[in-house]
């Protein structure tokens, strides 16, 4: 159980650092605009998903707290 707390703590720290450094990701979305028989017209748009800095900070702080709790409970 103690090692699980440490693993989750480290994962939260890594997720927090990644969320703070990248602040989101983008992807391409393809939509069908029109169709005339066999002819299709599509449009590609670039969408972006943002991670709030507060989310990254909370993950980072939560991971540090879990690591501290895991070390305290070992004693």
Instruction: Determine the pLDDT at residue 3.
Output: 83
- Please compute the mean of the pLDDT values over residues 38-51 and round it to a whole number: 91
How far, in Å, are 22, 45, 46, 47 from residue 9 at the CA level? Answer: 20, 37, 34, 31
- Please compute the mean of the pLDDT values over residues 11-40 and round it to a whole number: 91
pLDDT of 74 over the 80 cut: no
Q: What is the pTM of this model?
A: 0.69
The dihedrals phi and psi of 51, each to the nearest 5 degrees, come to -105, 125
Instruction: Determine the pLDDT at residue 57.
Output: 93
pLDDT of 37 over the 90 cut: no
């Amino acid at each position: 159980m103690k090692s699980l707390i440490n693993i989750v703590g480290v994962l939260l720290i890594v997720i927090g650092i990644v969320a703070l450094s990248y602040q989101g990701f983008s992807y391409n979305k393809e939509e069908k605009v029109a169709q005339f028989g066999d002819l299709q017209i599509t449009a590609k748009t670039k969408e972006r998903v943002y991670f709030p800095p507060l989310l990254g900070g909370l993950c980072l702080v939560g991971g540090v707290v879990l690591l501290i709790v895991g070390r305290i409970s070992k004693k």
